[in-house]
């Protein structure tokens, strides 16, 4: 599968091969390609990337946009995954990649609570009040509770 990679701006990291294009409409003499991937690294390039997506659609192949700016890592962006010919540790496990994604994204409230508790204690003057005392002061002042 031949994939043209389009970038909204040229940087030092932008590839320079025959299937890489920086901030341009499709050229008149384009090699045969199966898909176009528009890679957006910076959020301030999103508008230009969307314009490029419309411009590249005219060539009649699927155009996909992804990258760091849309909040999804290239490695997690499903349409960017190109599996190598090297087998993984196990090839018999069903939904292995999805399971690994779930484990990586498994942040539970018990992990976050101590962090928010510490922030609340600092914010509500922990030298003068414990968290419970701060709660009482907050309620007395009619403000919203941190719990």
**pTM, two decimal places:** 0.47
Q: What is the pLDDT of residues 6-65, one digit of tens each?
A: 899 888 888 888 888 998 888 888 888 888 888 887 778 888 988 998 999 988 898 888
Domain boundaries, the chain: 3-84, 109-141
Mean pLDDT of 72-94: 57
3-state secondary structure the chain: CCEEEEECCCCCCCCCCCCEEECCCCCCCCCCCCEEEEECCCHHHHHHHHHHHHHHHHHCCCEEEECHHHCCCCCCCHHHCCCCCCCCCCCCCCCHHHHHHHHHCCCCHHHHHHHHHHHHHHHCCCCCCCHHHHHHHHHHHCCCCCC
Range ranked top by mean pLDDT from 39-43, 89-93, 125-129: 39-43
The residue among 139 and 64 whose pLDDT is bigger is: 64
């Amino acid at each position: 599968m031949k994939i043209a990679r389009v970038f909204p701006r040229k940087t030092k990291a932008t590839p320079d091969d025959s299937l890489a294009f920086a901030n341009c409409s499709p050229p008149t003499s384009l090699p045969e390609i199966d898909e176009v991937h528009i890679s957006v690294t910076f959020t301030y390039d999103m508008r230009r990337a969307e314009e490029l997506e419309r411009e590249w659609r005219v060539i009649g192949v699927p155009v996909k946009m992804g990258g760091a700016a849309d909040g999804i890592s290239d490695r997690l962006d499903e349409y960017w995954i190109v599996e190598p010919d090297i087998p993984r540790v196990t090839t018999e496990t069903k939904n292995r990649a999805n399971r690994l994604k779930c484990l990586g994204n498994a942040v539970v409230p018990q992990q976050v609570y101590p962090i928010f508790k510490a922030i609340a204690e600092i914010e509500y003057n922990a030298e003068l009040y414990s968290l419970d005392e701060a709660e009482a002061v907050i309620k007395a002042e009619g403000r919203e509770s941190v719990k």
